[in-house]
Amino acid sequence: MSFDADVIVVGGGLAGLSAGITANREGVSTLVLERGEYSGAKNVSGGRIYVHALRNLVNIDDAPLEKPIVRETYEISCGSRKLNFSFYDPETRNSYSVLRAKFDPWLAKKAEEEGVLISYETLVYNAERDVNGITLKTNRGDLRAKLVIEADGVTAGISRYLGIRSLSPDSLMLGVKEVVKPDNVPEEGEAKVLVGYLNGLLGGGFMYVNQDSLSIGATVKVNSLQEEKILARDVVEDLRAKLKVEGEVLEYSAHLIPYYGFNKLPPLSAPNVLVTGDAAGLLINDGFVIRGMDLAIGSGMVAGKASKVILNQGDPSKTEVYEKMLAESFVLRDMRTASRAFQLMNNERLFKTYPELLCNVLARMFTVEGERKTLMNVMVEETKSRGLTLTQMIRDLMKVV
């Protein structure tokens, strides 16, 4: 049986394009399949990319990024009380707000200029493995490859079709988002993390400043949506009303977010398959940064390099080397570093107990009523009244440290 390409990359988003570009540079015959009319047509992100990995892939001088994020803001709301703080660093160019339907086509064009073949409007609806490779069932007929790089996003279709994966609502978050054009867009790029704005749903809100718009949205654990009385469709509108952001709504979108963490990662490879990006559950949330796109690019690049090594070894079913290379790269190293902090970010206490506890402690410290208590005593009382101990709280805090 003949092959349509040595390597077929399923998905033309950030992971897929990075894999396609890298494999092509390695001299491997490569084909990228994208189900959208263009790369980015089906992609949604919260809206911030850390560009270190992108810089290693291509020259980003003309990249259609939105604004450099120079202000990091946290807003914690507990009823009418609010705590917010910002870190401002005007010189940094470490991360940018981004809109994927603008950005991904630019990267796809870069790939095509280097000779990467991208087949658009190509939907893979099944995959079968045989002794020599993988056959992909697509709306354009069967396509065969020795090696498949799976870059089909969080729903991991290829892994599911091959039976190495199933999805579960407690490892997934739903992101819902609006792009809004307010009367005045802030001059400087800002990223806001919003805690306590989601009526008790497990998750958080976000806001990013783009060139001429704002990205406003929320990420919510799917199992929390299943249990609570709040409709996913109302989450962003409700958040926007609370933030009092007015303006023309340009887009309403939604996307699942992988929320596995290093200790619960899905299979990263299988015979004849390398899994990358969201499909591999690569997402980091350590309390300071929420990253997915740079991990997608990083893992795609590693998969592209690994494909050459695997093909040279002569047996495309032996894919372990990819996992070894990924473990040596920043992708899994950073996933590992963040694993304890991630556990806290996945903990109900963080969403439900701590914001309100913090507000109460502060409210008491800023109030004079005749009997002054030390901060320590106030903290002990407030943790106790919530069935927590100070030790538990410190243990949680240490996870981030």
Give the footprint of another protein on this chain (CB under 8 A): 35-38, 40-45, 99-104, 121, 123, 125, 139, 153-155, 157, 167-169, 172, 174-176, 178-179, 213, 222, 225-233, 235, 237, 249-256
Shortest distance, CB of residue 233 to another protein, whole angstroms? 5
And the tokens for 74?
């946290």
- Of the pair 232, 361, the CB lying nearest another protein is at 232
| CB of residue 197 to another protein, shortest distance in Å | 17
CB of 220 to another protein, least distance (A): 9
List the one residue out of 197, 178, 225 whose CA is nearest residue 83. 197
Of 174 and 359, the one with the shorter C-beta distance to another protein is 174
CB of 351 to another protein, least distance (A): 18
3-state helix, strand, coil in the chain (%, to 5): 35, 30, 35
What lies within 8 Å, CB to CB, of 191 at 6+ separation is 48, 69, 71, 72, 73, 95, 97, 206, 207, 208, 209
Q: Nearest 5 degrees, angle CA 147-CA 149-CA 151?
A: 160
Question: What are the start-end ranges of the H helices in 77-221?
Answer: 100-113, 157-161
- What is the DSSP annotation of 345-373? HT-HHHHHTHHHHHHHHHHHHT---S---
Largest CA distance in the chain: 86
Q: Which CB, 102 or 349, lies closer to another protein?
A: 102
Asked if 277 and 159 count as a contact pair (C-beta separation under 8 A), the reply is no
Per-residue H/E/C for 320-337:
HHHHHHHHHCHHHHHHHH
Q: Which is nearer to another protein, 251 or 320 (CB)?
A: 251
Dig out the tokens for 138 from the structure.
């697509």
Q: How far is the CB of 172 from another protein (least distance, A)?
A: 6
Please state the closest distance from residue 229 (CB atom) to another protein, in A.
8
The residue to which tokens 């992108």 are assigned: 54
Residue placing its CB nearer to another protein in the complex, 253 or 269: 253
Query: Between residues 207 and 341, which has the closer beta carbon with respect to another protein?
Result: 207
Residue carrying the six token digits 């969201």? 278
Nearest residue (CB) to another protein, 177 versus 305: 177
Pick between residue 41 and residue 265 the one whose CB is nearest to another protein. Answer: 41
| Rounded least distance, CB 297 to another protein, Å | 16
Give the shortest CB-236-to-another protein separation in angstroms. 8
Phi, psi (deg, nearest 5) at residue 197: -110, 5
